[in-house]
Structure 1
Amino acid sequence: MTNLQKDNGSYSNSRGELDFNIGEYLLKLKRRWIPALAVFTFTVGTTAFLSSFLEKTYQSEGKILFKKNTTLIEGIGTEADKLESILDNQTPLSTEKVRITSEPVLQQTIDQLKLEDAEGKPLKPKDFEKRLTVEIVGGTDIISLSYKDPDPVTASKVINTLMDVYINAQISSSKSATETAGAFIDKTLPQVKNNLQSLESRLQDFYEKNQIVDLQEEKKILVGELGNLNRQISSVGAELQGKKAQTASLQNQLGLDLNQAVRADQLANTPQVQSIIEQLGATETQLSQERQRFNDNHPVVASLNEKKQVLNSQLQQLIRQYVGAQVSTGLLQGGNNLKENQLERFISLKIEELSLQTEVSALAQYQQVYLNRTKDIPRLEKQEKTLLREVDTARNSFETLLVNKENLAIQENQKTGNAEVIELGQVPEEGSTGRVALMALGILMGLFLSNLTAVLLEMQDRTLKTIPEIKQKFSYQVLGIVPLDMLQEAQGGIVVQREPDSFASEVYRMIQTNLKFLAVKRQPKVILMTSSVPGEGKSTVAANLAAAMAQLGRKVLLIDGDLRKASQHELWQVSNKAGVKDVIAHKTPLAKVVSQPMKQLDLLTAGVIAPNPLALLDSSEMSELVGTARKEYELIIIDAPPLAVTADVLTLSKLVDGIVFVSRPGVVETESAELAQETIANANLAQKVLGMVINGVKPNEFDRYSYHAKYSKNYFSPSGESSPSKTAPA
């Protein structure tokens, strides 16, 4: 299926539902046409009566254009008299509309014109407002005002005076607002100025306290200086490590630290040590010479050795006293070159090392100072931004107040508001009573109230009034729809017998055909006809259905099983002296009791009312009666009581092959229909229900829901024209 076909199908369904809903509504309205017509007539009549009291009135109209003064917006004294639209962001026209109809404006207009009511008393503002119409002209900045009065001159005066009063009130309000604004500025300006000066002082103190000239420039300088310091620290640190390596090597050789080396050097330069060193050198020289002459045990050699030991002892004592550590005697007496190459070189390297260490520390301190300053920059920037923002805000406020003060001085000299009368109220030449509008309103109200009455009455009516409502409540196959003929309903009778070629007779033949096709494999031989409540026409349907089947050549027995309120004898106009009661209670043969109102159709009436009908129907004799009839007849139709009245249907249902349910719109109520459904379900009879006949359908509704009705009527009409359907009463 193509999308177009689907769309067409959806459209057809929607169109069908729309037609169905409209048709249902019109049908409900037709059912309640009398009360609806009464309400409509009363409403329109009342309106016509009231309209007769209306007097002729004249209407005068004026217009006001709203704009805004731009002096305060576009500059001091520039375009002071220029007006611009206020629709964008100024006071809405709806607010001005309310101001026009405010009580002070209306009261002042009344006082100026000395307006009076019908009793000669001063007109009240609320009564004045009833005659006044204020509207916003769509798509413009214009408000239209109109006033109705029996006197055309008064109508014109009222409109013009009202517009003057409103504009003067607006000018007065604007002037008052200007004066109030000026007083506010005069009071606020010194405070704002003092606040600005205070904030500027705080900003200056902030710069002085934190030694700030330009934070952004200072940030750049700090970054450069930190880079230089890092490079210097790296360079000096490397040189320091080299010096430390040299001094460590010499210190290991000398076995002295810097202080000991300095004291040793100082000690070597003292006269006492130099004297001992000279004596020690001379002694060693002499000892070397004497050893060439004498052996070690010789007194001269021994004396020199003893002298040498004494001198060494004196020297070591001085070393321990001044140096505090072991010092090689050679360092003290080795001559100037050795001393310069050892002690003095060690001292010089150590001093250079300490100097480099001091330089690194100084550079690190500078680095820390710069780092601390760098860390403070974000905090200082934040404080600076806050102070600058506060200063700028205060300065802007101060400058704005100064500008507004100058603008207010100019505005005080202006005498116009933002409203201008563009059309004065003219004296109307023709008046109007308003009767046409009132009558139109009355007709609309009449239509509304009449329809509302019909809907409310329909809502209060609990009966199932239409075919869709019945089909929705009963989920049974619809075997046929029997139309209602008001004339035939009054006359009574069996339409199939009297007019076998009529359309109504054909309806019953359609019902029997549907029954035939519903049970092709096993045709029901005994059929029970019942309904929810009395008055739905089950007896009439049973009689006409039996007659239709008999006309088709089938031998039919129609049994009136409603022993409490029999009606078949009245429909067929036969005697009811003998019937079901006689066959069961008196053992009367069936052939002697039945009558034959038409060919192929036998009728067994109920007979005289029995004291206990249920006992008779539940007896074995009743079962024998049905069993005997099964052998002699092709079809047995039992006209049973309604489900909601007695339990007879449940008893008779055991003897039948199928049940045909009859329902009539406008008779069965929702509760009764639900009770009938529950009764059938509780008795497990749903499988025996062959279908449903909707009886007593009004011709207009029948034509809408019966597909073949519009064609069959013409077909069965002798003249070929549409004729009303005729059937027995329901």
Structure 2
Amino acid sequence: LNSQVIKDLRSQRAQVSRRIAEMETRYGPLHPDIIKAKRELQDIDGQIKSEINRIISNLEAETAVQRQRAGSMASSVGQARGALAGNNRAQVRLNELERDAESVRTLYESYLARFKQTSSQDGIEKTDARIVARAKLPTGPSSPKIPLGMAIALISGLGAGAASVLLRRALDSGLVTAIDVENQLGQSCLASVPALGSTVEKGTKVPTEPFRYVLEKPLSVFTEGFRSLRASLLYSRLGNEVKVIAITSSLPGEGKTTTSMCLAQVFAQAGQSVIVVDCDLRRRSLNDVLGIDAKVGLLEVLAGTARLDEVLLRDQQGVDYLPLARSQYTPKDVFGTQVMDQLLQTLRSRYQIIILDTAPVLPVVDTRIL
């Protein structure tokens, strides 16, 4: 009677019954709406019946539990009654033993008083002292116990180390494997490039320019990571040719320029014509890596004050670079203009691969426009 679910179902049943009565006054008993409403009424009746059966089964289970508790309590009461009867018998025996002990205590006190009198008289004549055992000279400190302390410290250190490792592993929310990237981000993982310092031989100095290491060590694990990235990019869109690749990151200093130049070297080693375009208007990292100070660059080409062939730089591997010159004036919107679209179309016709070294996507809006 107190079930809110049954109350709701009965309220629904009353509404459906009222609706059936209204429809029967309008239509015949074989009207589809009436048949549908009757089926709904039967479904509600079935739900009410199943809910009642569930409540009854729960009450029966509670009744069984209460019966078991009542039986357990009855057993406990019987045990308590038996223990009380045993305690009564033991109390009678205890009273007898207390009377015996009192009589023995009185006799002992009389003997003790007599013994004290005798001892006081004998103490006047000689002392009652004797050597029980010879003291031994200690050969070491009694405390602290160094072996036990070292053992406890070793066990505690191992436990603390294991706990810290497990805690760090539990709190680690980063992306470690390609499966983590695909499961947590819902994106395809193209490749994993190892840190350069972890791939060089022990004792070898880590080169400051990773793209030169790609040229010097074409069979290294570091270079193989970029080969895997190149293969994934080329075959990421089956049936469509991949020509323009934009490299970006969330924040500055995460290796966009390094990735762009190393990837360009791998494309050049495969015999493809490639160009790297510096699209980071604020940092201009391409100039620092190449060690140049460009006088003209991408902005001048877009403004029409310089031709594309005058601005391009080429290294020994045949990779072309389109840098950015240091300029006091930068237009507000560079990459959303028609001139930029025309430049990309020109680069598509001249190169097989175009790599755009862009700005970080979170603090700068240029990359999203590009």
TM-score by length of 1: 0.30
Where does 1:25-104 land on structure 2 (aligned, <5 Å)? none
- How far apart, in 2, do the equivalents of 1:570 and 1:404 lie? 100
Aligned to 1:626: 344
The correspondence for 2:294, drawn from 555, 567, 576, is: 576
Structure 1 residue 527: Cα displacement: 1.1
- 1:557 aligns to what? 275
Change in CA separation of 1:463 and 1:588 when aligned onto 2, cut-off 3 Å: farther
- The one-letter code sitting in structure 1 at the alignment partner of 2:316 is M
2:92 matched residue in structure 1? 405
| Change over 3 Å in CA distance of 1:570–1:406 after alignment to 2 | closer
Q: Which residue of 1 aligns with 2:322?
A: 604
Matched, 1:475 2:186: yes
C-alpha contact 1:533 1:645 (8 A) present in aligned 2: yes
Q: Is the 8 A contact 2:181 2:189 kept in 1?
A: no
Opposite residue 478 of structure 1, the aligned amino acid is C
- Cα distance per residue 1:705-725 (max 9 Å; x no partner): xxxxxxxxxxxxxxxxxxxxx
**Separation in 1 of the partners of 2:318 and 2:272?**
6
1:649 aligned to 343, 367, 370, which one? Answer: 367
Deviations 1:194-224 (A, max 9, x none): xxxxxxxxxxxxxxxxxxxxxxxxxxxxxxx
Greater strand percent: which structure?
A: 1
Aligned partners of 1:507, 1:402: CA distance in 2, in Å?
A: 90
The answer as to 2:266 corresponding to 1:548 is yes
**Other-structure match for 2:310:** 592
Partner residue in 1 for 2:122: none
Do 2:299 and 2:325's aligned partners in 1 also have CA atoms closer than 8 Å? yes
Q: Does 1:514 align with 2:225?
A: no
For residue 622 of structure 1, report the CA deviation from its aligned partner.
1.1
1:549 positional shift: 0.7
1:526 pairs with 2:241: no
Aligned residues: 247
Letter in 1 for 2:148: A
Gaps of 5+ in 2: 1-80, 105-132, 198-204
Amino acid at match of 1:434: K
> In the alignment, is residue 484 of structure 1 matched against residue 195 of structure 2?
yes
Deviations 1:660-698 (CA, angstroms, capped at 9, x unpaired): xxxxxxxxxxxxxxxxxxxxxxxxxxxxxxxxxxxxxxx
1:200-599 alignment, distance < 5 Å: 404-405=91-92, 408-410=95-97, 412-413=99-100, 433-448=144-159, 464=174, 466-467=176-177, 473-486=184-197, 487-488=205-206, 490=208, 492-599=210-317
Alpha-carbon distance in 2 for matches of 1:457, 1:402: 65
Any residues of structure 2 matched to 1:6-17 within 5 Å, and which?
Answer: none
CA distance in structure 2 between the partners assigned to 1:609 and 1:473 by the alignment: 42
Query: Per-residue deviation at 1:558?
Result: 1.1
Q: Is the 8 A contact 1:630 1:636 kept in 2?
A: yes
Identity rate, percent: 23
**1:437 partner SS:** helix
Contact 1:494 1:572 in 2 (8 A): no
AA paired with 1:441? I
Question: How large is the Cα RMSD of the aligned pairs?
Answer: 3.9
TM-score (norm 2): 0.56
Please give the secondary structure, in 2, of the residue aligned with 1:616: coil
Deviation per residue, 1:562-596 (Å, 9 max, x gap): 12111123323444222111111134221221111
Distance 1:593 1:496 in 2: 25
Say which one has the larger Rg: 1
Does the C-alpha gap of structure 1 residues 406 and 579 become closer, same or farther in structure 2, counting only changes over 3 Å?
Answer: closer
Shift in alpha-carbon separation, 1:445–1:471, aligned structure 2, 3 A: farther
Whether the 8 Å contact between 1:529 and 1:538 is mirrored in structure 2 is yes
Q: Deviations for 1:505-542, whole angstroms, at most 9, x for unmatched residues?
A: 22211211122222221022111111111111111111
| Structure 1: runs of 5+ lacking an equivalent | 1-392, 417-425, 653-730
| Deviation string, structure 1 residues 113-145 (Cα, Å, up to 9, x no partner) | xxxxxxxxxxxxxxxxxxxxxxxxxxxxxxxxx
1:637 aligns with 2:355: yes
Specify which structure has the bigger relative contact order, considering alpha-carbon pairs within 8 angstroms and separated by 6 or more residues: 1
What CA distance in whole angstroms lies between the structure 2 residues aligned with 1:463 and 1:574? 40
CA change 1:572–1:463 in 2 (3 A) is: farther
The aligned amino acid for 2:206 is Q
SS in 1 for 2:245: strand
Q: CA deviation at 1:405?
A: 3.1
